[in-house]
Structure formats: C-alpha cells, structure tokens
Structure 1
Amino acid sequence: MLEVPPVDFGQPLSLGPLLERAAAAVPDKTALVGARGRLTYAELADEVSRTAAALNELGVRAGDRVAVSLANDIDIVTALMGIWAQGAVFVGVHTVLAPPEKRYLVDDCEPSLYITADADDDVGAPRVIVLDEWRARVAGADPLTPWPQSDPLAVAAIAYTSGTTGNPKGVMHSQHNALLPGAVAVARGSYDADDVFLCVQPLTILNLQVLNPLTTAQALGTCCIANRHDPVSLARWIKQEGVTHFAVVPTVAYDLLTHPDVNPEDLATLTKPRVGGAAMPESVKLLFEERFGIKPATSYALTEGPTLVTRQDPDRPIIEGSCGQALPHIDVQVLDDDDRPAEVGEVGEICFGPRPEGPWAGVYRTMLGYWGRPELSAEVLRDGMVHSGDLGRFDSNGELFIVERRSQMIIRGGNNIYPAEIERVLGADSRVAECCVVGRPDDRLGEAVVAFVQSAPGVAVGAEDLIALCQANLAPYKVPDEVCFVEAFPRSPLGKIARAQVQAI
C-alpha cells in the first residue's frame, strides 16, 4: 500500500502544497472520475493552474467571490481548486434552487463572476460565463505558475445555510478549515491511497467538497463524481470503479439496498459505507447491517463545522440515539444559559471550538463568521467557540445526544429545510392568512414536508395553487409534499401558533 506523506499540523493547511505533494507522489494515479472523463493527479494540478489563469484573465483577484452553479462533474472540483489557487472565494449555488433563491445568494455575496451550465440563468451577476465558454477558457489558458501567495486562514468559501428567518446566511470558511477534516481522517488511518470514493450529493455544497475530493486528494485516493443518484446508476459506478467508500443520506441507502435491479454482488467492494444527514428509519438500519455486516454510524455535522463535529465509532458498540463522541481535534461542550458547562445528562446548547491542550491543541479553527453579518457572527462565535443553537446532552461516556436541532428544522431526504423558508413564500400570498410548516415521519425520506394553511377570509385557494406557488419560488426539495387547510390554529399562552400541536393534527 502506498504510504501517504505525513501532514504538518503545526502549519495552516492550504491547497497548493497538498496538490504539489500529490502530483509528485502519484502523478499518474487517477484523481478524479466524472461524466467528462478522468484526470490523473498530474493532470489535476495542471487543470487547476489553468483554471486559476483563466480566472486571472477575467479579472478575478484575491478576495473576490466567484459563484459556481454546476452539476456534479470534474469541472466543479477544478473550479473550487482554481478559485483557491487564485486566492479568491468559492460560493456554491445549488443548481436546483429556484431563480429567486439564486438571485438572493448572488445579491448577498456580490460575486465578480458567476459560472453556470444554464445559459438562461438570470441571477443579476455582473459577469456570467456558461460552462462551454468556461471550459474553452480553461483549456486555452497557460498554467499559472507560481500561484499567487494567499493566506490559508483568510475567507476561501462561503457556504449558505438556511436559517429561522427564512433567508440563508453565508458561513465563511478558510482553506485550512475546509482541508482539516480530510487531513485528520487520513492521519487517523480512516482512508488511504487504495480508497475509491463515490460522491453522490451535489458538490455545490461545501461540506460535500470537504468530505469527498478534498479528502481523497489528501489520501492520494480516487474520487468518482456521480451525476445521477438513482440506485442502478450508483451500483454501476460502484462495480465499475471498485468504490470502497461513500457517504449518503438514508434515502439513497434505502433505494440502493431495496431496488430489484441492484445485484448485491455489485456492491461487494463497498467496505466503508457511511450514512448520515438525517435520521435513519429502523428498517434501513436493519437492511444496512444485513448487507454490510456493520451497524450504520451516525454523526453530528453542520455547515458551521464544516462537516463532522462528533461521530459514532463503528468499531465500538453503537448507543442508540447517540451522535458519537467529539472528534479528536475538536472540543465539544454543552453549555447552560450562563455559558457554563452543563452537568452530565443536563440539556444545554452544543458549542465547539479548538482543543485547548493535547496533541491536537489549536489545530482546529472555528468558522470565520457569517458573510456581511458582524453582529450575528460575534454572538455565535463568542468566547472562541461556535454556539450552534442546537440543544443536546452528554452521557457519562462523552456520547452526545441531540435533543433539538435548530428549532423546527426538517430533514427531508438528507436536505435541511427550515419551515420559515416555506412559510415566507406562503405568507406573502394574500390568499393565506397564516401558515405553519412541519415535518412528518416518512419511511423513505426520513421526514415529509406538510404545510398547514388558514385561508384569508372570503378567499378560495386550493392546495394545488399553493404548491405551484412554492414550485415557482423554492427548490424542488423544499416544496411541500402535502397542504392541509385549517379553520384556526392552536395557540400557545402567548398567542403564537402551537407548532407541536399542529404536528399532531
């Protein structure tokens, strides 16, 4: 087995040395596989340098935001890496977002360039480049050498996450932040050069870049990028490429394990499957354990991490309901209302930051804040820790249990949905007096989205009208699965809609 060169955790991590190390160690080894083709590590380093040159020719400078809305393929990985090589900031824009949602992100981050596969993507960016032109520019550029000097601790990515206000906020991370999870995983022996990853979820999501191509590049492994996630296609990828690892949401795992056209032998190489991003129904857990011989390990992860903060160890007994223990480089605490550590078993706010002592002391760094929101950033990052807003408790073994995640967030098929996003769209319609969006258990999706609506007096409105309204203004995965009408909402003593009672209707 090829030995991966050790990482110097005494220095902030940055992309340049990582790619140089990989291209020198395994120049002819396959780094990326996608619908477009394959790139070796030498070819990847070359394309990233040409991507940086193309950006430079377009006037992109250090600190500029570059918004990217591309489907899963090699281009979105080399775009992120080229943006970092130029010292600029990557902003992923999910391709399935509705036009108003895309425009909000663009208005908020003010990118100097917007790269898209959709020629009709009218988002109001000052410069829009469609994929074909972008590929031609990259192919025709001379490699940029040396790369401009950039600060590995400066803002390198803005990852938008929805909030309880209904509008997304941009989480800022550095190159060091984004590279650290992979570096720690490789240093702990979780992955090596023999591993073949399969990325299933959209790489416009920074956490998916962190968990897939940025981790495989440090392991000197291979990252396959699936542009479809139906079970038959995924099984074909796994068999043809000898995939050893993927991290998917329970919905994808369920479909892969139950589809009649998927031969279990096609999954034989998949020895390191991971499932997360949503609660896993018991039926899926049983199927998973029967097929792979291990219990599915869950974790606590969030955009502000980025990615994992705690994780269950599949080699240890799995405690039902636990999210596992803190990763070795992250100090996780449960704090009471006075920001003091809660007693074991007591519920408090989950907070996390760098380890204060030990071999991992100071290696982890918190997110840099929320883009354009200094007051919120100061509040969330007080005392040098990320205050997640999630409630949890520790047991005597240091296992973390989530009590409540971010108010009433719905996790549908692994996608995080805040009711306020949908309620904002519904509530803006004059035919709606009030509304309340909740999640309901669903065997396949984890949760389904149900909108309860009280019509305005004397106005007729149908469920199909409101679903059409949501389809025009929201990403498909946020559109309610069901709309229910009520004459009046149950109320709390303060007059607010009693969401828990609505959920029980």
Structure 2
Amino acid sequence: MPNLADHLFRQARERPDKIALIYEGETWTFARLADAVRRVAAGLAAAGVGSGTRVGLMTTARPDFIITQQAIFALGATLTPLNIFYKRADLAHVITSCDLEVLIMDRDFVENLPDAADCGELRGVLVFGLPTGAGRLASADGLGQTGAAIERPVDLPETAIGMMLNTSATTGKAKGVMLSLANLRANYDRTPEWLGLNSESVILCALPLYNTFGLNQGINALMVTGGTMVLLPRFDADRCLDAITAHGCTFLPMVPTMLQRIVDHPEAETRNLSSVSRILTGAAPVPAALLERIYRVMGRDTDVMTAYGLTEASAIVTLEHITLRSDGRIERPKSIGQVLPGMEVRILTDDGRPTAAGEVGEICIRGPNIMQGYYRQPEETALAIRDGWLHSGDLGYFDADGHGYIVDRKKDVIIRGGQNIYPADIEDVLYHVPGIREVAVAGQPDDKLGEVPVAYVALQPGCHLTAEALIDRCKQELAYYKVPAAVHFLAELPKGPTGKILRRGLKSPATNASPPGVTP
C-alpha cells in the first residue's frame, strides 16, 4: 500500500549520502532529510496529527516546508499548502471550506490568522519562529526535538486523499481540490520521466511551494528521481543566475515571467549557463519572442518544453518539446503539446459534440489523474466532472497532428455586439511590438455593444509607446471588432501565485493609471 513519502525513504536507502537539497549555502543529504522527517512526524503525531487529519501548511520556500510536507504525508494526513500571501479573509475561507484541523505556519503570518470563531474545526496552530506557546498557538520549532521518531510511513489505500490543493482563485473563490494517492501517482510519479529527468538532474526551484507547479516539478521531481534541488526562498533573477553557475543547474521549471527576467538580465549572455539542458514553462502564454530569446541566451540545444495542466487534473496533461529549426524559426511556438500517456483529451462544443481538427471547443480531460472532486461542494463537482470528463473551462483545439493549442478561458471570451473575441488574438499582435514586456486583454462593459476589449500593457525599461500607436497596429492586423477600445499602461500586470495574469484585477479603475513618463 502506497504513501506519498515513500520516494524520499527509498532515496535515503539507495543513495543516503547523495546531496538532495541545497538552500542558502546549506546542504541536505537524502539520509538527513529522511531522518528529519521521521522526527518531525513523531512530533506531529504527538500533537494529534494522524491518518486523515486535514493539515494546512503556510511557510516560505525553505527546508522546513519540505520536511513538514513529507512528515504529513508519512503520517497519512491530508496536506493543504496555503498561499503565503493570503490575508485574514482568504485564510478564513480556506480554513473553513477545507475543514482544516491543524495549521502549521510561520510567525510572520500569524497576524493574518482569523479569530477562533472564524476557524471552523481548527483545533491546533503550530508556529515556526515562536519560542513558546501563547494562547491557542504552540511552537513548531521543537517538532523534531522530542527524541522520538517514526520508523516508516504508514500504509494507505489508493483512495486516501493525499492532498487537498486550492484552485489558484483566478476563477473566483478558491476551492479544495481532493487528490487521492491514485490521482497523484498517475501523474506526479510519471512527470519526471516525461520531462527527461533522472538522478543526475540538478533542479533550480524558484517557484512557490504551495501550488502544483512547485510541488510537482520541484519537490516531487526531486523525490522521484533522486536528483538534487537548489531551492531559492523566492524568485530573483540575480540569484537564479548565481545558482546556475555555482551548482550547474540542469533543469529550470519556471513561469514565463521568470524566464523573461532571467534572459533580459544584463549579465545573461556573459554568464556560463551551458549546464541548463531542460526548461519547462507554462501557467501563462509563452510569447514567441521569449522563446527566441531563451535559445539565444541558453543555446540552441536547450530542450524547451511547454505544458498545459490544471490542479484538478493533478498537474500536467499535455507536453510540447519546442523545436528550433535550422533556419532559426520556431516550430509550433504556441503549441501546448500532445496528450501525455494514460490520459484522454477531447475538445467539445457547448452542446457536447466532439470537434474536428482545428475547431475550437472546451478542453475536457479523462483519466486516473482526475480529482475526486471539490471538497464539500457536490454541485461544483457535478458541473466540473460530467460523464467522467473534467470540463476545464479552457478553450482550445488540436491540429491534424495532435498538437494542442489554447485559445482562451471560456469565461474570458469578450462578446462585442454579438461577435466573439478571444483576448489571446489581440495579445499575440501586441506581443510582437518591440518594447512590450507583458500584455493582457480584458472585456470592459459598454452600453451599446455589451463589451469592448481593453488592453493592459507593461513596457520594457526605457521604452516609450503610445496607446494610439498600439491601436493603429491592431487596426492593421485585426478585424475591426477586435481592435482595443483603449490601451492602459501599467508598471506590472497583476498576477496570481503561479504567474498567471489576473484578468479580473485588470477591470478595476485603479489599474488604469500609467507609470511616470509613459503616454496613455
């Protein structure tokens, strides 16, 4: 019977002295990590954590997160990683909607802890950085110092809920996504193989650890392969370049905005980045200009992969190996790839009809990786999973060769006077304008037309563009009804934890301000 911590304990047996983790100059072997997990698990058990206990974990990206995560797994409890940027209302919603029983958090986040009356079934709060307990808070610092240690992870049925992840909330209120051990093993266990990772891989993880990207392509990839992970507490382009050159990092799992900042760094082309052989990106559109820049900085032989996935499908569903042709052109730069083994994907129309190649419809997924449902939300679950198919809410199509393409989110389609507008069509035109760093298009209510498209743009440093120039560009390349009614310039576009641009945050009047020196 499986346990999600089995991979770590296997690595500790097979390669105990191999360096597993590098963090802020400190190294952890697999044996040291497994020993810490045994001791922390014993401390958690003494605090009342056991099989099926619903545990929230809210810490920064550091070894404590990984050790505590693996200890929670080892005990058979259900882990809910929490976004470290949650404020009081967000935290209250997740605690109550997921019925969390124990919360483990950093001292810096205690100020956002809701009142006890708003915490539902929460019966214990363990805090890192708290020397002694105070009121309902207990110290988490001594969890591994009781002198006790578990022998091995508990055996669990495949149906046990290993993690209850929160949707990214780009689609509204976060929901608890129940992922069973069978779901996770069907995807997480196979992801490193799909990505070409092995025990020699050196993973640079600058991702947050509370979402599926960091959990799967970071921690899980480390545990399954027995490679090495260089963990950064937060993303910083300077530190990423330093880590690559110092530790010979071979694999970079990053969202496009991270990669953009690395390849645009003034020292990017003078540093020795030849160790990087694989890059995985996704969670947001990847502009062709960024792909071209990656190859120029990292080298033509770099295996750049783009993927499509979602929390409800236990992570990735399709994978594309981007091809740089001999003439310098990128083949299928917008593709999200082909469907991975063990999964099925259909593109369906609104009335449930399968589409032909090239025809746009909703991406629907079926397979052993599909979630058990949204916790305590049967109506939402029934809407999402119909006849065994997970309806993603994303619009896309497959070409005749089976390569997939995302068009947009179903709910992001703008309807202008009865004409459907996909924001990605406008964004693609604007991304080809030199000097544009980021762009997003959202619908704005209009009394006569219902909605009109509005573009929000972040520029490269030192670049000056006008709204009129960008609108003229769109007029040259797009149908009249797709031309933005306005262009607003922002210093940064609002993003969620995975790097996705939050379109709903673009519709606030507060986002309409332009940075100094930029003409709206």
Do they fold alike, i.e. is TM over 0.5?
A: yes
Residue aligning to 1:240: 246
Matched, 1:391 2:395: yes
Structure 1 residue 325: Cα displacement: 0.8
Deviation string 1:31-89 (CA, Å, 9 cap, x unpaired) is 12223832211122222222221211111122121111100011111222111111111
Quote the offset at 1:297 in angstroms.
3.3
In the TM superposition, what whole-angstrom CA distance separates every residue of 1:247-266 from its partner, at most 9, and x where no partner exists?
11122111111222456424
**Who is 2:111 aligned against?**
120
Write out per-residue CA displacement over residues 327-368 of structure 1, whole angstroms, 9 at most, x where no aligned residue: 1222111123343422222222211122xxxxxxxxx33111
Match of 2:313, SS state, is: coil
Would the alpha carbon gap of residues 380 and 297 (structure 1) be closer, same or farther in structure 2, given more than 3 Å must change?
Answer: same
2:326 is equivalent to residue 322 of structure 1: no
Q: Report what 1:231 is aligned to.
A: 237
Q: Partner residue of 1:200?
A: 206
Relative to structure 1, is the Cα distance of residues 70 and 189 closer, same or farther in structure 2, using a 3 angstrom cutoff?
closer
2:356 to 343, 351, 354: 343
Q: Residues 42-57 of structure 1: matches in 2 within 5 Å?
A: 42-57=31-46
Answering whether residue 308 of structure 2 is matched by residue 300 of structure 1, we say yes
Is the contact made by 1:33 and 1:225 (CA closer than 8 Å) also made in structure 2? yes
Distance 1:181 1:476 in 2: 22
2:150 aligns with 144
1:369 Cα offset (Å): 0.8
Distance in 1 (CA, whole Å) between partners of 2:208 and 2:364 is 27
Query: What does 1:471-486 correspond to in 2, within 5 Å?
Result: 480=505, 484=509
Aligned to 1:75: 64
Instruction: Classify the secondary structure of the residue corresponding to 2:103.
Output: strand
User: Could you tell me whether the CA contact under 8 Å between 1:353 and 1:366 is conserved in 2?
Assistant: yes
- Aligned equivalent of 1:175, options 174, 181, 190: 181
Tell me the equivalent position of 2:266.
260
Using the TM superposition, give the Cα deviation of residue 21 of structure 1 relative to its aligned residue in structure 2, in angstroms: 2.1
Distance in structure 2 (CA, Å) of the matches to 1:260 and 1:482: 34
Q: Check whether the contact 1:179–1:215 (CA below 8 A) recurs between aligned residues.
A: no
**Conserved? CA contact 2:160–2:180, under 8 Å:** yes
State the shift of 1:188 in Å. Answer: 4.8
Contact 1:236 1:266 in 2 (8 A): no
Shift of 1:175: 3.1
Deviations 1:109-164 (A, max 9, x none): 12111111124342344322111332321233521124333223321111111457
- How does the TM-score come out when normalised to structure 1? 0.75
Quote the offset at 1:320 in angstroms: 3.5
Letter paired with 1:398: G
Task: Give the match's secondary structure for 1:137.
Answer: coil
Verify the 8 A CA contact 2:202 2:229 in the aligned structure 1: yes
Cα distance change of structure 1 residues 141 and 371 upon mapping to structure 2, 3 Å threshold = farther
Letter in 1 for 2:123: P
- Matched with 2:404 is 400
1:129 aligns with 2:148: no
Equivalenced residues, count:
426
Which position in structure 2 is the counterpart of 1:92?
81
Any gaps of 5 or more consecutive residues in structure 2? 130-138, 326-330, 414-422, 428-436, 446-450, 462-493, 512-519
Give distance in 2, aligned partners of 1:145 and 1:418: 54
Cα distance in 1 for partners of 2:442, 2:123 equals 32
The equivalent of 1:427 in structure 2 is none
Matched letter for residue 124 of structure 2: R
Shift of 1:283: 3.2
- Structure 2 distance, partners of 1:296, 1:208, is 18
Q: Indicate the SS of the match to 1:234.
A: helix
Change (3 A) 1:418 1:40: farther
1:368 maps to which residue? 372
For the 8 Å contact 1:179–1:210, the answer to whether it is kept is no
Q: 1:97 to 1:72 in 2, by over 3 A?
A: same
C-alpha distance in structure 2 between counterparts of 1:163 and 1:329, whole Å: 28
8 Å Cα contact 1:392/1:404 also seen in 2: yes
Superposed displacement of residue 231, structure 1: 0.9
Please state how far the C-alpha of 1:214 moved relative to its aligned partner: 0.8
Normalized against structure 2, the TM-score is what? 0.73
Partner-residue secondary structure (3-state), 1:267? coil
The answer as to 2:323 corresponding to 1:332 is: no
Specify the alignment match of 1:270 in structure 2: 276
1:359-388, Cα deviation, whole Å (9 max, x unpaired): xxxxx3311111111122133222222111
Query: Residues 3 and 153 of structure 2 are in contact (CA less than 8 Å); yes or no, is this contact kept in structure 1?
Result: no
Q: CA deviation at 1:234?
A: 1.1
Letter of the 2:73 counterpart: W
Asked if 1:28 is matched to 2:17, the reply is yes
Given that residues 199 and 225 in structure 1 are in contact (C-alpha distance below 8 angstroms), is that contact kept between their aligned partners in structure 2? yes
The answer to whether the 8 A contact 1:254-1:444 is kept is no
User: For residue 196 of structure 1, what is the amino acid of its counterpart?
Assistant: V
Q: C-alpha separation between the residues in 2 aligned to 1:89 and 1:333?
A: 31
In the TM superposition, what whole-angstrom CA distance separates every residue of 1:392-423 from its partner, at most 9, and x where no partner exists? 111110111212224229999x99x9999xx9
| Kept after mapping to 2: 8 A contact 1:70/1:76 | yes
Corresponding position of 2:484: none
Partners of 1:231 and 1:255 within 8 A in 2: yes
Are residue 249 (structure 1) and residue 255 (structure 2) matched? yes
The alignment status of 1:286 with 2:292, answered yes or no, reads: yes
The AA in structure 2 aligned to 1:306 is S
Deviation at 1:267, TM superposition (A): 2.1
Instruction: Tell me, yes or no, if the aligned pair for 2:175 and 2:375 is still in contact at 8 Å.
Output: yes
Match of 1:15, SS state, is coil
Q: How far apart are 1:279 and its partner, in Å?
A: 1.5
Q: 2:284 touches 2:501 (CA, 8 Å); kept in 1?
A: no
Give the Cα separation in 2 of the matches to 1:485 and 1:35: 38
RMSD: 3.6
Report the Cα distance in structure 2 between the residues aligned to 1:372 and 1:437, rounded to whole angstroms.
37
Q: Identity over the aligned pairs, expressed in percent?
A: 27
| Cα distance, 1:306 vs structure 2 | 2.0
Corresponding residue for residue 6 of structure 1: none
Q: CA deviation at 1:323?
A: 1.2
Partner Cα distance (2:242, 2:176) in 1: 36
- How far residue 476 of structure 1 moved from its aligned partner, in angstroms, is 13
Q: Distance in 2 between matches of 1:56 and 1:482?
A: 47
